[in-house]
Amino acid sequence: MRTRRMAAAKVGSNLSHKIGRDCHQHGVVAEEIDGLIKAYKDGRVERPQIVPCVTSTLAPGLGVTSRDTVIDNFTNIWARFYVPIKFQGKLPLLVYFHGGGFCVGSAAWSCYHDFLARLAAKANCIIMSVNYRLAPENPLPAAYDDGIKALKWLKQQALSVCTDNWWTSQWNFSDVFLAGDSAGANIAFNVITRLDSFNAGQAAAAIKPLTLKGIILIQPFFGGEARTHSEKHSVQSPRSALNLAASDTYWRLALPCGASRDHPWCNPLAKGSVKLEDFGRFPIMVCISEMDILKDRSLEFVASLGRAGKRVEHVVHKGVGHAFQILSKSQLSQTRTLEIMARIKGFISGI
């Protein structure tokens, strides 16, 4: 199929925030993050394609096969599936949402293609990597709507007796997990909260016969008007995947016009947000990076879930920053990436 060629993240760029600059060729720039996105006041958006988009082809030695499938022709939502070929029996399914501040990224990015193929092999699970609509052309809740649409599409596959999808014979639809990193983790969380007003019983009925078993949030992209200690004081290198100015820009581009960072979609702990006591009884795992500006916000989120009586576990990966598992090739990052994969495998198999 023809996939949308989403623009790519710039690894190693200076993610400084620039606003209101004049460009003699293209008009007035309203918002910009260097190397990632440039939004003009006339509504046009540019995303330099620096990380390549790749096809679903994989090396045979990995033991995983991959293909792309259309979810919705009208909105051009599609997904890339990863299926281990050496594993016998029914496999759990991990529905995964990529990161990128809601504004950049693609299921076809080479970094996600590599990471998720390896994760499928390591964790012995099928992965459905959803390519959702991006802001600012499609501001929130578009990405959440696309997540719900992906689950409803899966529901139809589970109900169909004549589906021709190549992966369904290996799929245990009673063993489904939602996951994502950064903005994708935010999407996974908000998809769950949108499933019938956070009522676990009603949410289960809404996607039956699918059975949601748990949620995996990797460096969840949350925010708030009040700055945390790590947001104010963490020193980020020019090669960091996220700094405070870039984070603020992403939220201005993604949230409804006029919304603050204490909007419930951004800040799940702000006044007016979902009461975590009412959140479904799904086990939650949160992966946090020690050098991430979002570290303290993630730890506060985990603590709040615990106080609300939720089944939550978390791990802090030492010495690495935001999105290290897809953007960094250092030896330390590779070691920590294997740790993340092992934790995900344990979480999936232990429930």
HEC string of 51-117? CCECCCCCCHHHCEEEEEEEEECCCCEEEEEEEECCCCCCEEEEEEECCCCCCCCCCCEHHHHHHHH
Among 129, 182, 240, 298, the one annotated catalytic: 182
Distance in angstroms (rounded) separating the CA atoms of residues 209 and 17: 45
Distance in angstroms (rounded) separating the CA atoms of residues 97 and 194: 16
- Rounded to 5 degrees, φ, ψ at 144 are -65, -40
Q: Which two tokens stand for residue 338?
A: 């294997």
**Residue of 225, 220, 192, 180 whose CA lies nearest to 344:** 180
- In a 13 Å sphere around the CA of 238, the CA atoms on its Cβ side amount to 5
Residue 289 appears among annotated catalytic residues: no
Q: Around Cβ 258, how many Cβ atoms within 10 Å? A: 6
270 burial level (CB within 10 Å; 0-12, 13-18, 19+)? middle
Distance in angstroms (rounded) separating the CA atoms of residues 329 and 195: 37
Q: Report the catalytic residues.
A: 182
